[in-house]
Chains A and B, each alone.
Chain A
Amino acid sequence: MKIEVNGEAREGIATIADAVAAVTDARRGIAVALNGEVVPRSEWDRPLTDGDAVEVLTATQGG
């Protein structure tokens, strides 16, 4: 199953929580979009399906 996390194809990612863990240890100040839609933290155990695109976002410097 191919999942894209922050634009990079990855293997062995079954849930959104896996996708987050693949790119960061942080849990504070993190938001996730699955195929463009916000996924609340309470639903991070949601299983992914082939071709899903996950965005894992956080705060950065910006005006």
Chain B
Amino acid sequence: MDQHATTRTDADLKIADKTFTSRLILGTGGAANHAQLAEAITASGTELVTVALRRVDPGASGSILDVIERCGVELLPNTAGCFTAEQAVRTAKLAREAFGTNWIKLEVIGDEDTLLPDPVELLDAAETLVADGFTVLPYTSDDPVLARRLEDAGCAAVMPLAAPIGTGLGVRNPHNMALICENANVPVICDAGIGTASDAALAMELGCSAVLLATAVTRAADPALMAAAMRDAVNAGRAARLAGRIPKRHLANASSSFEGMADL
């Protein structure tokens, strides 16, 4: 892809005090091994990857922190697995202690089967963490009102889901996603539910500032190839958004003029 096409007219992505050239954020969950993950990170062109916080595994060989350091990307810890605001706040504080970052991808899950966010606990945790000086990036449902409430609470971005985590169903409610993007004054990052490159492109065309995805890449048959496809899709979707698409029409509209037609 011609990188000029996107960089000529586009500014970098700004979240809180940081600037990113890449608009793709990669979750590291689901990779078969660290070598495969490193290849995918490199191929994706991402500058920011998520990690979870778990009990140390005495039998683990190598740390994901080494992979992240070798790839030269930044780390965004998450609160995955938390079901209450209290749990999520504690996890965020532990992540800050472990990694020396006040950035947190805030996840508070409300249902074990769908892994959909619990909006009440999420907002509660967001308010607490913002007050404690965290840069909060909340994983949220695709609800424009909740997105606004999270922004009002001081979140540095809002991260509405395309579809439930790991489903690969793509953007289930493009209208809501577009509404969230239109109303937001902070970056909107489409998070979760992306299945393939066209899903990521659509999210960007709808106005998202970035896309966060994990299993679409890590569990693809060829993770590095899918990572490259996602990189291109995010760039293409962003360029198409900036370029201004034509309106949809019910009937055909000839692009070749009828004027000067030969009388045959």
Contact = CB atoms under 8 A, between A and B. Distances in A.
Interface in B51-83: 51-58, 63-65, 75, 77-78, 80
Contact of A63 (B50, B63, B90): B50
A59 B99 contact: yes
Contact of B28 (A31, A56, A63): A63
Given A23-B58, A26-B63, A28-B65, A59 B52 contact: yes
Contacts of A32: 94, 97
Contacts of B63: 26, 29, 58-59
Contacts of B52: 59-63
B81 to A, nearest CB: 8
A56 to B, nearest CB: 5
B169 interface: no
A29 B65 contact: yes
B190 interface: no
Nearest to B93: A38
Contacts of B262: none
A12 interface: no
Given A23-B58, A26-B63, A60 B53 contact: yes
B94 A60 contact: no
Nearest to B95: A31
Interface residues of B, number: 35
Contacts of B99: 29, 59
Contacts of B94: 31-33, 38, 57
Between B27, B31, B97, B166, the greatest number of chain A beta carbons within 10 A of the residue's beta carbon is seen for B97
A13 to B, nearest CB: 15
B245 to A, nearest CB: 30
Contact of B54 (A24, A57, A63): A57
B54 A38 contact: no
B214 A38 contact: no
A30 B50 contact: no
Nearest to A25: B58
Interface string A19-47: 00001101011111100111011000000
Contacts of A23: 55-56, 58
A57 B31 contact: no
20 contacts: A6-B55, A23-B56, A26-B56, A29-B63, A31-B53, A31-B97, A38-B90, A38-B97, A59-B63, A59-B64, A59-B75, A60-B57, A61-B28, A61-B37, A62-B50, A62-B54, A63-B27, A63-B50, A63-B165, A63-B215
Given A6-B56, A31-B97, A60-B64, 7 more contacts: A31-B53, A37-B90, A57-B94, A61-B31, A61-B64, A63-B30, A63-B78
